[in-house]
Amino acid sequence: MLFPSNNTPRWVIFFIDTFICIFSIVLAYLLRFNFSIPENLTYLLTINLLYLNLALIISVRIISFLFARTYAGIIRYTSSKDATRIFIVVSLGSLFFVISNLISYFFVSEFIIPFSIVIIDYMTTVFLMITFRVLVKMVYFEIKNPSRDKRNIIIYGAGDAGIIAKRTLDRDAGAKYKVLAFIDDNKTKANKKLEGVAIYESSKLVDLVSKYDVAHLIISIQNLPSVRKKEIVDTCLAYKTKVLNVPPVSTWINGSLSFKQIKKVRIEDLLGREPIKLDEEKINKQISGKVILVTGAAGSIGSEIVRQIAPYKPKKIIMLDQAESALYDLEIELGEKYPKSLFEPVIGNIRVNERMENVFRSFRPELVYHAAAYKHVPMMENNPSEAIFTNVLGTKTIADLSVKYLVKNFVMVSTDKAVNPSNVMGASKRIAEMYIQALNNKADVTSFVTTRFGNVLGSNGSVIPLFKKQIEKGGPITITHPDITRYFMTIPEACQLVLEAGAIGNGGEILIFDMGKSIKIVELAKKMIKLSGLELGKDIQITYTGLRPGEKLYEELLNNKENTIATHHPQIMKAHVAEYDFETISIRINELIGLFENQNNVAIVSKMKEIVPEFISNNSVFSELDKPKATA
C-alpha cells in the first residue's frame, strides 16, 4: 500500500495544498481589483491573464511541493519544522515570480504578474497552508483527549527555560498535560502572558495548587537557591503535587530537551546547600601538572575526587582500588571526556606494602588523596581485625610511603564517627587520624591534612539508596530508631571541600566541614515517600528495627575537649586537637596491628580502647569492655 491506512493519504494532502494555492491566487486577483474585474482592460489586465498566471503559479507551486515534499508530514503531528519548511518553499516560489517579473520588465517593459498579486498570493498561501495543519492538529488532539481530561501542570520560571519546557510538553506530552500557569519570582512579569499562558507571582502558588488539581510543578530555573526549592517542594507536597526538574542544558540531547528528561526532584536536591565557593587558584596550583594518587578511587568519594581534579589538568591521576569492576567502569566513564593517557587504573590493596611500594616507586605521586577505607559500622563491628588492617595499617602504609617517596601533600578522608567513637569503625579512623597527625610532625617534606565530615548522600551503603530500593519494592522502610539523626552532605560538596582543605592546609590539621543542621532520618524517609507520590500509612509503612551494633543516635564533629579555629573558608573549620608523640603512637599501633594474626576480636578492641580512651562501645558485644573491672 502506498500510504499508511491510519493516516490521511499523502495525495489528499497534496491536492488540498494545491487547492489552497488556487484559492490564494484567485483571492489575490479579486482583492487586487476590489472583487470586480473590469471587462474593458487591455490584454495584460483582462480575464485571460488570470488563467495564464494561475497556470504559471500553480505549476511552480506543484513543482516546489513535489521537490520539498511538504505533503509528506503527518498533519496531526505538525511541528514548527513543518511550518518552517512550508514558509521556505512558498517563499522561494514567490521569489521566482519576483525574479520573473524583473526579467520580463527588463525585456518587454511589462510585468508577468502584478507585484501586488504576488504579495497577496504569497501571504495568503503561507497563512492558509500553516493554519490548515495547525487546525487539524488541534482538532485531532481535542477529540483524542479533550482539554477537560488533560492534567494541569505549572511551570516555575517564566524565562527561556520555562518556554522551552512548555514547548517540550506541547510537543511530547500535549495529549496528556496542559500548562495551567507560569510562576515567577520576578513580580514585573506577573499578570502577563507567555505563549497564551498566564504568569503569576510566586505568592500565588498556594492558591493555584489548592484551587486546581495540579499534577506536576516543573522547576525550569537552573540556579534556584536550595532554600527556595525546599519551600516550593514543601508547598506542592502538601497538596499532593509532584515536583519535577528541568535538567541542566549540558545534559540535553543534541541541545534539545525532551519530556522524558524532565525528572522528579531528588531528595539530594533538597538537602544540598548553596554552591561552594572554591579558591580555584590555590587548587589549580596544587593539582595542575602534578602526578596524583587517589586511593579508594572506585568508591563514592574517591571516584568523585577523580572527577573533580581531572579538569585542573594534572599530569596523571593514579586511580588505586581493589574493586576491579567498579574501577573499570570509572575508567570507561572518564575516557569519554578526557584523554585516556590522563588516568592510570591500578588494582591493589593498600594493606599490602610490597604492592603499594611498587605503585609509589613506579609513578612517584606528588599529591595523595587517601579515601580508601572500610566504612560500614555494623560490618566493622563484627570484623574488627579487618577494620584495623585496612583503616589503620592501610593508612599507615600509604602515609609511610608518602614520606619515603617525598610526596608533597597527603589528604586523608576521615569521618565524624571518629569523634567520641562508639564503634570499631569510628575508632579505627580515629587511630588513623592520630597517626597521620603525629607523622606530620616528623616528616620533612610531606604535609599531612585530615578532613572530617558526616554522612554523604547517595554514597554506597548510605540510607538514601536503601530507602529508594525499599520504596520501589513497596516497603516497608526500615529505620533503626525514631529519634536517630545524622549530618548530611552531597558527594560533590564533600569532594569540593576535600580539594579546598587540601589546598589551604599547612600540615597537621584536622579540618572539619560545616555539615549544616542534623536531620532526623525518619523525616528524611517521610519526605522521600511524598516525593515518590506515595502516602505514609496507606501505600507504605515505616518500621523501627532498633539501633545496630556500634550505632549512635547522634553524630558529632568534635569531642568535648576539642574546639575549632576559623579558616579563610566559611565552610571549613580547623579542629584544635591534642597532639601525640610519634614514637609512642607508632609503638601502640604496631602492637594493635600485631594482634591481627591471632584474630582475637576482644583483644583487638581492648587495644583500640587503650589507644582511644574516649572509645565507648554502644549497643555492642564490646560494651562489656567498658565496665569497670571488679577489684579483689
Q: Sketch out the chain's domains with CATH numbers.
A: 10-144 (no CATH), 147-265 (3.40.50.720), 280-597 (3.40.50.720)
Q: Does residue 211 have a pLDDT over 80?
A: yes
Q: What is the pLDDT of residue 591?
A: 94
Does the pTM of the predicted model rise above 0.75?
no
Q: Is the pLDDT of residue 3 over 50?
A: no
Q: Give strand ranges (E) for 220-342.
A: 242-245, 263-264, 291-295, 316-321
The whole-number average pLDDT for the span 130-143 is 76
Tens-place pLDDT, residues 517-574: 777 888 888 888 877 777 787 778 888 888 877 677 776 655 445 567 777 777 778 8
Closest C-alpha to 136, from 70, 76, 84? 76
User: What per-residue confidence (pLDDT) applies to 258?
Assistant: 61
**Which pLDDT score is estimated for 631?**
46
Of 417, 432, 427, nearest to 607 by C-alpha is 427
The set of cell numbers assigned to 123 is 501571504
Report the catalytic residues: 417
Phi and psi at residue 234, in whole multiples of 5°? Answer: -60, -40
Q: Are 190 and 200 in contact (CB under 8 A)?
A: yes
Residue 606's pLDDT is what?
92
Model confidence pLDDT, tens digit, residues 399-445: 999 999 999 999 999 988 888 888 999 999 999 999 999 999 888 89
3-state secondary structure at position 333: helix
**pLDDT tens-digit profile of 256-295?**
566 666 777 777 666 655 656 677 788 888 899 999 999 9
> Mean of the pLDDT values across residues 440-460?
81
Strand partners, 451: 413, 511
- pLDDT for 473 equals 83
**Strand (E) or helix (H) holding 283:** helix 280-287
**Residue-level pLDDT at 272:** 58
- Asked if residue 593 has pLDDT above 80, the reply is yes
The percent of residues in the chain predicted with pLDDT above 70, rounded, is 84
At residue 615, does pLDDT exceed 50?
yes
pLDDT of 249 > 80? The answer is no
Residue 519 three-state SS: strand
Eight-state DSSP code of residue 536 = B
Return mean pLDDT, the chain.
81
Q: What is the DSSP letter of 341?
A: G
Reduced to 3 states, what is the DSSP secondary structure of residue 296? coil
Looking at residue 54, its pLDDT comes to 75
What's the pLDDT at 76? 65
Instruction: Choose the weakest-confidence range: 6-20, 378-392, 494-508.
Output: 6-20
Spatial separation of the C-alpha atoms in residues 263 and 442, rounded to whole Å: 52
For residues 109-124, give the mean pLDDT.
Answer: 78
Kind of pairing, strands 510-513 and 367-370?
unpaired
